[in-house]
């Protein structure tokens, strides 16, 4: 007989080996879950000891060292062995690349944040393209449930592989409750910001369309008469050479600030103090920065691609990410119209309040209970 509570193993390596969106997703989901009375018992497998949780069971499983293929050994042997050892009923992989090599009696759940590796492979490094091409369909077919962050990603998933709709669940993520308005002039001074500015946040890589934003900023500066700065907050990522070449040749290079990776406490001020947040991405599985900016009280100009209209709702001004002149026009419009900025700020605060990590954690916990019970 199946017990009421499931024993669930979370493969939480993103907590310790990255700082990008999947790290934030995993961290905030587990924090919210730890503060709730979930229906199920959770084990969090991670690379390093943290002591972050009061109610979840942290299991430290370091990466194999001095062994060729250590990551593969972890994915195909260490983690499955751990699942069997703790008598897991379900294993969930928040990083959308597994779980692997489990016995048939353990149910598999994978989270798909986006399908860029298969929809737009040229945006990714070769090893990522190859791994996704070889393994992703098998992962999806074996999953008892595939969790997506948006309706757009659910549609992409059904186009990519014809999974029954009952095996796909859209669960909107939350927004970091720490991302609230904060104006700290010392942060602006630290990054050399001394005028009104547009902000974009995210890793510098092709999907983010920062080349397009550079082109739009050039048009904006040439045609508007404003001398606003452009602040790019994010670490250098893969396939970013073209961006840096264009940056070097930009006529307004002196007014474009690259911050590198920004700690959350600084990012709050960068959001809150910006004239507007501009997000020109070609594709997002959800679009955390859009909602974070709104929660910090910032007007948002946003690409209309992929899931971004779900993230921005009726609280953003949208543009075609391929239309650099159109982006520049909206940059001028938002600069000219203080009333419009105020309206977007108020709508954005209301819209951002819809996204809660507590709600997400409760919904996902309920879905995992249904899988465990076979309902």
For the residues of 206-257, what is the DSSP string, one character each?
Answer: GGG-HHHHHHHHHHHHHHH----EEEEEB-B-TT-HHHHHHHHT-TTGGGEE
In this structure, are 86 and 214 located in the same domain? no
Kindly state the average pLDDT of the residues 276-285. 94
Is 1 part of any domain? no
Structure confidence at residue 304 (pLDDT): 96
In this structure, are 222 and 139 located in the same domain? no
Q: What is the CATH number of the domain that holds 236?
A: 3.40.50.2000
Kindly state the average pLDDT of the residues 272-290. 93
Kindly state the average pLDDT of the residues 255-278. 95
Residue predicted with more confidence, 128 or 285: 285
CA distance 176 to 355: 9
The answer on pLDDT for 191 being more than 70 is: yes
CA distance 167 to 155: 13
Residue predicted with more confidence, 50 or 34: 34
Structure-token pair, residue 52: 């972050």
Structure confidence at residue 127 (pLDDT): 59
Structure confidence at residue 21 (pLDDT): 74
Q: Which residue matches tokens 């609230």?
A: 180
In this structure, are 170 and 191 located in the same domain? no
CA dihedral 337, 277, 223, 251 (to 10 degrees): 150
Separation in Å, CA 104 to CA 83, 168, 249, 297: 12, 20, 56, 48
Separation in Å, CA 64 to CA 47, 67, 110, 159: 10, 6, 23, 37
Is 282 part of any domain? yes
Structure confidence at residue 121 (pLDDT): 60
The answer on pLDDT for 289 being more than 70 is: yes
The answer on pLDDT for 80 being more than 70 is: yes
In this structure, are 59 and 111 located in the same domain? yes
In this structure, are 158 and 215 located in the same domain? no
Residues of the chain with pLDDT > 90: what percent?
60
In this structure, are 66 and 165 located in the same domain? yes
The answer on pLDDT for 66 being more than 70 is: no
Kindly state the average pLDDT of the residues 141-155. 90
The answer on pLDDT for 346 being more than 90 is: yes
The answer on pLDDT for 239 being more than 80 is: yes
Structure confidence at residue 159 (pLDDT): 85
Mean pLDDT of the chain: 89
pTM for the model: 0.84
Kindly state the average pLDDT of the residues 126-131. 59
Domain containing residue 328: 185-352
Is 310 part of any domain? yes
Structure confidence at residue 1 (pLDDT): 41
- Give tens-digit pLDDT for 193-225: 999 999 999 889 898 999 999 999 999 999 999
CB-based contact 29:94 (threshold 8 Å): yes
In this structure, are 211 and 167 located in the same domain? no
The answer on pLDDT for 344 being more than 50 is: yes
In this structure, are 204 and 296 located in the same domain? yes
169: helix, strand or coil: strand
Is 2 part of any domain? no
In this structure, are 338 and 236 located in the same domain? yes
In this structure, are 24 and 156 located in the same domain? yes
- Per the structure, the count of domains in the chain is 2
Is 179 part of any domain? no
Is 309 part of any domain? yes
In this structure, are 26 and 109 located in the same domain? yes
Is 180 part of any domain? no
In this structure, are 153 and 211 located in the same domain? no
């Amino acid at each position: 007989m199946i017990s009421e509570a499931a024993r669930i193993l979370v493969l939480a390596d993103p907590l310790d080996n990255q700082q990008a969106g999947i790290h934030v997703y995993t961290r905030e989901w587990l924090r919210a879950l730890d503060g709730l009375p979930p229906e199920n018992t959770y084990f969090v497998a991670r690379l390093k000891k943290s002591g972050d949780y009061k109610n979840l069971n942290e299991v430290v499983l370091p990466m194999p060292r001095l062994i060729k293929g250590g990551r593969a050994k972890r994915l195909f042997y260490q983690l499955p062995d751990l699942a069997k050892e703790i008598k897991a009923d379900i294993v969930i992989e928040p990083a959308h690349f597994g779980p692997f090599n489990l016995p048939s009696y353990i149910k598999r759940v994978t989270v798909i944040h986006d399908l860029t590796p298969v929809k737009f492979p040229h945006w990714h490094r070769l090893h990522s393209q190859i791994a996704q091409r070889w393994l992703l369909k098998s992962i999806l077919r074996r999953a008892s449930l595939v969790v997506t962050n948006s309706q757009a990603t659910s549609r992409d998933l059904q186009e990519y592989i014809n999974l029954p709709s009952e095996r796909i669940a859209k669960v909107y993520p939350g927004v970091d409750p720490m991302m609230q308005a904060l104006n700290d002039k010392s942060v602006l001074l630290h990054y050399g910001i001394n005028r009104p500015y547009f902000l974009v946040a995210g890793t510098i890589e092709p999907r983010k369309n920062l080349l397009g934003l550079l082109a739009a900023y050039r048009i904006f500066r040439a045609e508007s008469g404003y001398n606003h700065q452009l602040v790019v907050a994010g670490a250098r990522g893969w396939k970013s050479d073209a961006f840096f070449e264009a940056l070097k040749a930009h006529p307004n290079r002196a007014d474009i600030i690259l911050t590198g990776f920004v700690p959350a406490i600084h990012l709050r001020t960068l959001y809150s103090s910006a004239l507007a947040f501009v997000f020109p991405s070609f594709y997002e599985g959800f679009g955390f920065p859009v909602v974070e900016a709104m929660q910090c009280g910032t007007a948002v100009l946003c690409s209309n691609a992929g899931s971004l209209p779900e993230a921005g709702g009726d609280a953003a001004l949208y543009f075609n990410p391929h239309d650099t002149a159109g982006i520049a026009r909206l940059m001028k419009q938002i600069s000219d119209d203080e009333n419009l900025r105020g309206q977007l700020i108020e709508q954005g605060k209301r819209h951002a309040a819809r996204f809660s990590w507590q709600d997400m954690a409760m919904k996902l916990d309920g879905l995992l209970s249904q899988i465990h019970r076979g309902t």
